[in-house]
Amino acid sequence: MNVRLYLLQRATAAIMAPLVLAHLVLIYYATSRGLSAADILGRTRGSLVWGAFYALFVLCAAVHGAIGVRAVVGEWTPLRGRALDVAMWAVGLLLAVLGLRAVAAVVL
């Protein structure tokens, strides 16, 4: 962990705080109404707002999660140095790619 990674991790955390709150409210709403796929996709398809919201969420989560996992792996496993950075990028890219694909799936 250094100042650059720290700043990225805390900044994405701060950005995500309200996003997570909104997401939780959404989950409660969708669960209590027992929404079906058609209900959900009917609201998200073609929506710029939902697309932007979740794209931002996904990218922040990818950065935050990758740096977080790097910290844990660097402390709880023997991985160090370059291998650690590779692991971090792998986690970040995995989350970003799968996440943006999911956003595209529900918005496009």
Partner 1 sequence: MADTIEVSLWRGRGDGRYQTFTVPRRESQTVLDVVTWVQRNADPTLAYRFACRVGMCGSCAMTVNGRPRWTCRTHVARVVEDGRLRIGPLANLPVIKDLACDMTAFFEKWQAARGVFAPSATRAEPMARISPASPERRAADAAIECINCAVCYAACDSVRWNEAYLGPAALNRAWTLVNDVRDAANRERLAAVAGDGGCHACHTHQSCRELCPAALNPTASIAALKRRTVRAYIWGEL
Partner 2 sequence: MRGEAGHRRSALWLAALVHRLSGLALACFLPVHFLALGLAIDGDAHLDAFLRWSARPLVKVAETLLVFLLAVHLLGGLRVLAVENLAWREGQRRLALMAGGGAVLAAALFLLVAFR
Residues near partner 2, by CB under 8 A: 10, 13-14, 17, 20-21, 24, 27-28, 31-32, 34-38, 40-41, 58, 61, 65, 68-69, 72, 91, 94-95, 98-99, 101-102, 104-106
> Of the two residues 6 and 28, which places its CB atom closer to partner 1 in the complex?
6
Rounded to the nearest 10°, the torsion over CA 89, 73, 71, 27 is 80
| Cα torsion 47, 50, 51, 52: sign | positive
* Contact status, residue 54 vs residue 103, Cβ threshold 8 Å: yes
* Contact status, residue 58 vs residue 96, Cβ threshold 8 Å: yes
Q: Which does 74 bind (CB under 5 to 8 A by kind): partner 1, partner 2, none?
A: partner 1
We find the least distance from the C-beta atom of residue 72 to partner 1, in angstroms, to be: 9
